Structure 1
Amino acid sequence: MASTSALPSSSASSLVGPSSIPAPSPSSNTPPSTTSPPQKKKLIGWQHSAAGSLGGMAGAIVTSPFDVVKTRLQSDLFRHSAQPLKDAATAVPARTGIRGTLWQFVDTVYLIRRIGVEEGWKALYKGLGPSLVGIIPARAINFYFYPTSKAYLAKQFPNAPTEKAGQTSEDSPLIHLSAAVIAGIMTSTGTNPIWVVKTRLQLSARKRTPSAVAASIPAASSPLPKTIASSAAALARSATASSATTATTSAAAAASLAPPAGARAPVSALTMTMDIIRKEGFVGLYRGLSASYLGVSEGVIQWVLYERFKRIGATSTSSLEQQPLLSYIGSIVGASGGAKAVASLITYPHEVIRTRLRQPAINGVVKYNGLLQTLRLVVKEEGVANLYGGLTAHMFRVVPNAACMFLIYELVAAKLTAAA
C-alpha cells in the first residue's frame, strides 16, 4: 500500500520520460528570483545628480559659442551689432514672416564671425566658466529632484491616471508634470546668481585695438565674406589713422556696450560677482528670477514630452543591455532633442525677458525692472517679433545640448544601474 500511495507523486515523471527527470531538481533548488524576470534596479539621488552633471557639462562646452550669440541677440545692447555691413543706399529688408526667420540665420552666423574678428575667438567662450560652474549644481539639482519627486509622488498617489492599462503611477503624465515643476523651481532658485554673472560676462564686450582687428583680417585669409572683410579692413585702417576727435567719438560709441561708467571691465567671474554685489546688493544676483520661474514651464514641457517621446521611440526593450546601441542612442537623442525643440519654441519669449532683466545699468539707470514692465516695454519699443530675438542661435545651442546631456545621462545611469 505504501508503494501505491507514492504513485501520484511519481506518475508525472514516469509519464514524461527519463529525459525530463532532472528538471524538477534544478527548479526545486533554484531561488525564485533567478527564474522570474529580474527587477530593474533604481538609482539613488546622488547617482542621478552625477549622471546629469556630466551630461550638462558636455553639452555646455560643445554649444558655448551659440550661447554667447544667443545672449547678445536677446539683448538690446547689441541689437545694432548684429546687422551686416551695408551700403548707405541699400535698404534693409523687412525682417518679418519667413524672411525674418531666414535673417535670423544670417544674424547668427554674422555675429559669430564678427565676435571672432573684433574680440578674438576666445570671446565665443565668454561665460563658459560660470556656465560650467553653474551646470554642476543646476543639473545635479534638476536630475536629483525630478526622479526622486516622481518616485515620491507615485507612492503618495498610487491611483494617478495613466494612459494605458498595466502602467504604474510613475508613468502618469500628471506625476511627470508635478515632478518637473518641483525640479524646475528648485533649480531656478538655487542657480539664479550663477546665470546672472554668466549673462553679464557675455554682455561685456571689450573690442581689440583697430590695428589688431586689421591684422586679423588679411584679404586673402579672412573668415568673413569678401565684401564684409574689405569693409571691416577699411574701417580698421581709417580708425588707426583717425584723429583724437574720431577716437573720442569711437570711445563714446563703445561706451554703450561697456560695463557701467566708472567701473573697470571685469576680467573674471569673481570680479563680476563682486561688482554686482557692490553696486546692486545681493538682490542683484537674483535679477530675472521671476522670468526664471516663468521658464519652469519650459522644463515641465520638456520632461513630459521626453518621457512620452522616449516611450514612443523605444523598441520592446528600452534598456541599454537589451537593445542595440545605435537604436538606443537614436531613441534617446530623438526624444531629448525633439522635446527640447518643442518646449523652447513654445516658451522662448521668457528667455528674452530674463536676459533684459539681467542687463547691467546704463549710466546708472536700470531700464528693465519687472516681468510685466519688461514685456510691455519690449513690445512697445521693438515689436512682438523681438520677443524671439536670438531664437535661431538658441535652437542651435539647446537642441544639441539637450541631446548630448540626456544621452550621457542615460548612458551613465545605465552603467551605474548595471554596477549596482
Structure 2
Amino acid sequence: MSDALINGLAGAGGGIIAQLITYPLQTVNTRQQTERDLKKEKRKIGPVEQMCQVVKHEGWERLYGGLTPSLVGTAASQGVYYYFYQIFRKKAELAAIERKQKGVGDGTVGMFSSLVVAALSGCVNVLLTNPIWVVVTRMQTHTQASKKVHSDCEPLPEAAVLATIEPPPYGTGHAIQEVYDEAGVRGFWKGVFPTLIMVSNPSIQFMLYETMLKKLRKRRALNGKNDVTALEIFLLGALAKLGATVVTYPLLVVKSRLQAKQVTTGDKRHHYKGTLDAILKMIQYEGLSGFYKGMSTKIVQSVLAAAVLFMVKEELVRSIRLLLIKDAINIVTSKAH
C-alpha cells in the first residue's frame, strides 16, 4: 500500500470522526452565515442558545440536517486532499533533494513549497467535491429559508402554522433536484470561485502545522525523546486551524451565501448573481460585519474539528503502517520456516 493511499484513507477516517463530533456546530454556523436579516436591532445569540432553539422548535434531527451527504463529502474531501497532498509532497521533497545536490538549499521542503503543495491539493479537492457541499448547504439552511417566507405574515393561517412547526421532509434528493431546477448542472458548482480562493485556508493551515510539527520533532530529537504525542498533535492542529480561519473567514461567508437557496422574488438585496455581486451587496447593506457573521462559532467548530482530524489521522497512519510491517514480518517468517 502506497504512502499516499495510507494518508488518504487515514484522512478520510479522521475527517468522518471530526465531522460527527462537530456537525451541530457546523449546522448552526451555516445558518448564521446565511442569515440575511438586515435589521440592526436584532439581538445576537450565541451558538449554544441557537442550538437549543433548533432543538426546541425543530427537533434534534435538524442539527444533523444533511449529515449523510456531509459525511460522504468529508470522506471524499479528506481522502482526495491527503492523497494528492502526499503525491505533491513527495515531488516537492525530491525536488528539494535535487536542489541540495546542486548546492542549493538544505534538502528540506520550505514554507513556500509547503504552501504550493497544499494549494494544489486543495484546488483538486474543490473541483471534484464542490457539488456535495452545495447540497449540504441547502439541507442545513432549508428550514431557515422556509420559515423566513412567513416571518412577516401575521396572523398566520392555521395551515401555515402547522407547516412552520412541522416542515415537510427534505432529503438529499430534494436538495439535488432544487439545485438542478434553479441553474442546471452548473448550479452544483455555485460558490466554486470563492472556494478556490479559500484553498488558502488549508494551505495556511498545513503550512503552519507542518512548520510547527517539524520544529517540535527536531527539538524532541535533540533531547533524545520519543515522537510527538497525540495530545500535542491535537494542539498543533488546533493552532494551525485557528490562524487559517481568522484570515479566510469572509470568503467562507460569501461561499455559503451563494450556495444557499437564492431569493428570486421580493427584496433583491437578498439575491446574489455571483461572487462580486454578493460582496458588493453585503458591503452596501450589511457593512464589513456581515462578512464575519458566526465567526466565533466557526472558530470553535473548525478548530475542534481540525484538532480531532489531525490527531485521529496521525494515529491511523501509525496503526496502518504498524499493521503492514507486522504482515510483512509474518510473511517473511512463514517463508523462512
> TM-score band, normalised by the shorter chain?
0.7 to 0.9
The letter for the 2-side match of 1:183 is S
Q: Which is richer in helix?
A: 2
The answer as to whether partners of 1:146 and 1:183 remain within 8 angstroms in 2 is yes
Name the structure 2 match of 1:384: 288
Name the structure 2 match of 1:139: 78
Where 1:246 maps in the other structure, the secondary structure is coil
The letter for the 1-side match of 2:116 is S
**Residue 407 (str. 1) matches residue 311 (str. 2):** yes
Pairwise CA distance, 1:167:
4.9
Name the structure 2 match of 1:30: none
Instruction: Name the CA shift for 1:275/1:116 in 2 (closer, same or farther; >3 Å).
Output: same
**Residue 182 (str. 1) matches residue 120 (str. 2):** yes
The letter for the 1-side match of 2:59 is G
Pairwise CA distance, 1:274:
2.0
Name the structure 2 match of 1:58: 17
Instruction: Name the CA shift for 1:359/1:207 in 2 (closer, same or farther; >3 Å).
Output: closer
The structure that has the greater radius of gyration is 1
Where 1:158 maps in the other structure, the secondary structure is helix
Name the structure 1 match of 2:171: 268
Name the structure 1 match of 2:210: 307
Pairwise CA distance, 1:334:
1.4
Pairwise CA distance, 1:248:
3.3
CA distance in 2, matches of 1:409, 1:160: 31
CA distance in 2, matches of 1:74, 1:188: 20
Name the structure 1 match of 2:230: 329
* 1:73-92 to 2 correspondences below 5 Å: 73-77=32-36, 83-84=42-43
**Residue 199 (str. 1) matches residue 121 (str. 2):** no
Name the structure 1 match of 2:271: 367
**Residue 118 (str. 1) matches residue 19 (str. 2):** no
The letter for the 2-side match of 1:246 is P
Instruction: Name the CA shift for 1:249/1:74 in 2 (closer, same or farther; >3 Å).
Output: farther
TM-score by length of 2: 0.82
Q: How big is the alpha-carbon RMSD for the aligned residues of Structure 1 and Structure 2? A: 3.2
Pairwise CA distance, 1:386:
1.4
The answer as to whether partners of 1:71 and 1:355 remain within 8 angstroms in 2 is yes
* 1:9-408 to 2 correspondences below 5 Å: 43-77=2-36, 83-84=42-43, 106-158=45-97, 167-169=106-108, 171-205=109-143, 246-248=155-157, 251=160, 267-314=170-217, 315-317=219-221, 323=226, 328-363=229-264, 367-408=271-312
CA distance in 2, matches of 1:172, 1:160: 12
Instruction: Name the CA shift for 1:145/1:362 in 2 (closer, same or farther; >3 Å).
Output: same
Q: Could you list the runs of 5+ residues in structure 1 that have no partner in the other structure?
A: 1-41, 85-102, 210-243, 259-263
Pairwise CA distance, 1:323:
2.7
The answer as to whether partners of 2:233 and 2:310 remain within 8 angstroms in 1 is yes
Instruction: Name the CA shift for 1:265/1:279 in 2 (closer, same or farther; >3 Å).
Output: farther
CA distance in 1, matches of 2:199, 2:75: 18
CA distance in 2, matches of 1:75, 1:268: 20
The letter for the 1-side match of 2:195 is S
The answer as to whether partners of 2:191 and 2:258 remain within 8 angstroms in 1 is yes
CA distance in 1, matches of 2:282, 2:252: 13
Instruction: Name the CA shift for 1:167/1:350 in 2 (closer, same or farther; >3 Å).
Output: same
Aligned length: 307
Pairwise CA distance, 1:179:
0.8
Name the structure 2 match of 1:31: none
1:177-204 per-position Cα deviation (integer Å, ceiling 9, x unaligned): 1110111101111110000000000111
Instruction: Name the CA shift for 1:188/1:265 in 2 (closer, same or farther; >3 Å).
Output: farther
The answer as to whether partners of 2:54 and 2:62 remain within 8 angstroms in 1 is yes
1:21-71 per-position Cα deviation (integer Å, ceiling 9, x unaligned): xxxxxxxxxxxxxxxxxxxxx952221111000000000000011101100
The answer as to whether partners of 1:118 and 1:207 remain within 8 angstroms in 2 is no
Instruction: Name the CA shift for 1:413/1:79 in 2 (closer, same or farther; >3 Å).
Output: farther
Instruction: Name the CA shift for 1:77/1:266 in 2 (closer, same or farther; >3 Å).
Output: farther
The letter for the 2-side match of 1:417 is R
CA distance in 1, matches of 2:99, 2:69: 40
The answer as to whether partners of 1:276 and 1:285 remain within 8 angstroms in 2 is yes
CA distance in 2, matches of 1:290, 1:329: 35
Identity %: 24
Instruction: Name the CA shift for 1:359/1:249 in 2 (closer, same or farther; >3 Å).
Output: farther
1:90-112 per-position Cα deviation (integer Å, ceiling 9, x unaligned): xxxxxxxxxxxxx6xx4322211
Where 1:332 maps in the other structure, the secondary structure is helix
The answer as to whether partners of 2:115 and 2:206 remain within 8 angstroms in 1 is yes
The answer as to whether partners of 1:142 and 1:183 remain within 8 angstroms in 2 is yes
CA distance in 2, matches of 1:307, 1:333: 13
The answer as to whether partners of 1:75 and 1:356 remain within 8 angstroms in 2 is yes
Instruction: Name the CA shift for 1:372/1:363 in 2 (closer, same or farther; >3 Å).
Output: closer
CA distance in 2, matches of 1:245, 1:384: 32
The letter for the 2-side match of 1:355 is S
Instruction: Name the CA shift for 1:207/1:184 in 2 (closer, same or farther; >3 Å).
Output: closer
Name the structure 2 match of 1:6: none
